[in-house]
Chain A
Amino acid sequence: MNNNVYLPFKSKILDIKPHTDIDYTFRMEFEGDVKPGQFFEISIPKYGEAPISVSEIGENYVDLTIRKVGKVTDVIHTFFPGQNLFMRGPYGNGFDVDLFKEKELIVAAGGTGLAPVKAVVDYFVDNKDEVKDITVVCGFKSPSDILFRDDFKKWKDEIKTILTVDNGEEGYTGNVGLITEYIKNIKIENIEEANVIVVGPPMMLKFTLQELLNRGIKEENIWVSYERKMCCGIGKCGHCKINDTYVCLDGPVFNYTKAMKLID
């Protein structure tokens, strides 16, 4: 059958990088156009498919940061470099980095929420002259939950980076506290034009959005990325539908003016 969109292709695992006990980044062989914020359907025959967003885009590869949290991802975590996974995609709209150019940008992420937006940060770290200013503020539950440590190290020298944990541990010397507290104090020169991307679990999203609106960030300058159950990724299976919107087709990246009207 021509154009069988459901047939996955084989992709070799080039490298696996563990962040925590349950979060690994899989570097997958891939050639083709991908945008930050887009996702692939990753599958292992016999276990099923799962939508996973790209956390890094390189020449001939995409990174997929996968938490061991379900039937499919449990098995993916038993794989080694050199073995193959099946993929379909990329799907979804992704982030349009052009919208953020020549303006201030704040990226606020909670936990694994950093993964879908990390490629945006990577882009502006590599192309600093294209953005007026970029701040990354990212919160994790505890020091042992921190993802992308190497990237944070790199970002610290290049851009404003705030890394915080909800609860510290003995010997931990970094920031402690919810990211909302740090958002209060981020210096924003032009509040009218500054863009903010917020990605994270529902509670983090709620309070971060509140704080941003309190600070006077305009609704139309806030961007979110949604996670929903998806079986097809192409507007057919219905699981990700919210009102008249299909997260897989119209999202997963939404402007806040649209997202605020989506009721599950």
Chain B
Amino acid sequence: MGISLSNKEFNNILDELKKEYKIYAPKLFKGKGRFSDTDLVRYDEISSIEEIEFGKKSYYSPKEVLLPITQTLFYFTEDKVIEPEIDHKKTLVFLRSCDIHAVKRLDEIYLENGVEDPYYKRRREKMKFILMECEKSFENCFCASMGTNETDDYSLFVKSEGDRVFLDIKDKEFSSYFDTGVETEVFPNFVKENKIEVNIPENLDIDIFKSLMWKEYTSRCIGCGRCNTVCGTCSCFSMQDIFYKDNERTGERRRVWASCQIDGYSEVAGGFDFRSDQGDRMRFKVMHKIYDFNKRFGYQMCVGCGRCDDACPEYISFSNCVNKLNEKVKEGK
């Protein structure tokens, strides 16, 4: 079913929904961009349609709603451990098709690879998707190549046009909220092609791990890890214990986002690092996204959102790297 309603009507319903849900969407932060006088689009809680940035790709992916940058696992006092209180509110997240596909990848790691992760599960169970459409492909996107440009895995589809909001309600749970509005046909448009096309080489094997092509990144990559933090499918974390200055016998254990591009990721006690070269780290990341994950789980990890390319301060392009890899494989190098 599709309906259209005014922004004001929609905002009133958002207020109703907010009693039960925390609602997250990409929001524009004026002047908060990396460069002077640039803006930043990132996820935050919203309470009106006007706050949502529909027209730009968010710098960070929505994964921080599910996987906070730092998350307290438990508190410790002397020899007791105590779990943090649970937030009982459900969450609604505005996100694009590629990002919905990215959540499936996170599910694979956190719910299917070994035992379930309880912290992830309790957030994931309470999370529902509101699809945002992409009117056109953004810079660096290659979702069509990754097959993530379309999805039907959403509760609501919301489209903003001037002072009216158009909705497709797929999830019955929300029907009761939207009893006003004019019935109309509403379908999401999906991007069919991108300017960038990525060809993942077929018949990839372990030999490509030793290819000299990775050496290029040894000198180019500065190991800042931005590509990992903006990625919707990067799911690694490190454990971190902190303690309170006023009482050193109490503190908390947290997990924080980790990056395979940053020093320390593969270093064991005693100082031995299994991957100290940036070229090897690039190879590790790229091969995970387009080979290793697929080998283990049966589909590609990368969803083609292109955020890694948007974020790289050294203008290293992931899509370009994969295409280069394809050429190398064709040439037999």
Flag the segment in A3-11, A155-163, A178-186, A190-198 that touches B.
A3-11
What class of interface size applies to chain B in its complex with A? Answer: 35 or more
Q: Are A243 and B270 in contact (CB under 8 A)?
A: no
Taking a contact as CB atoms closer than 8 A, the residue among B117, B255, B272, B280 that contacts A231 in the complex is B255
Rounded to whole Å, the gap between the CB of A80 and the closest CB of chain B is 14
Provide the residues of chain A in CB contact with B117, threshold 8 Å.
5, 234, 236
Given A4-B118, A236-B110, A238-B235, also A46-B79 (CB < 8 A): no
- For chain A, the count of residues having a C-beta within 8 Å of the partner chain is 45
A interface footprint on B214-239 (CB within 8 Å = 1, 0 otherwise): 00000000000000000000011111
Main secondary structure of the interface of A (DSSP, over half): loop
Residues of A within 8 A of B (CB): 1-8, 10, 43, 45-50, 67, 69-73, 84, 86, 202, 227-229, 231-232, 234-239, 241, 243-244, 246, 248-249, 261, 263-264
The answer to whether B241 touches A70, judged by C-beta atoms less than 8 angstroms apart, is no
CA distance A238 to B285 in the complex (A): 11
The residues of B that contact A246 with a CB separation of less than 8 Å are 113-114
> Which residues of A have CB within 8 Å of B260?
238
**What chain B residues lie within 8 Å of A2 (beta carbons)?**
118
Q: Do A229 and B268 touch (CB < 8 A)?
A: yes
Residues of B within 8 A of A234 (CB): 114-115, 117
Apart from A7-B74, A46-B242, A46-B251, list 8 A-B contacts with CB within 8 A.
Answer: A3-B116, A5-B115, A6-B253, A67-B269, A73-B269, A231-B255, A234-B114, A237-B258
B295 contacts A235, CB within 8 Å? no
Decide: A236 near B118, CB < 8 A? Known: A231-B258, A241-B292: no
Contacts A1-B86, A244-B293 known; A45 to B76 CB distance under 8 Å?
Answer: yes
The answer to whether A229 touches B209, judged by C-beta atoms less than 8 angstroms apart, is: no
Contacts of A70 in B (CB 8 A): 269-270
Q: For chain B, residues 234 to 261, give those with C-beta under 8 angstroms from any C-beta of chain A.
A: 235-243, 248, 251, 253, 255, 258, 260
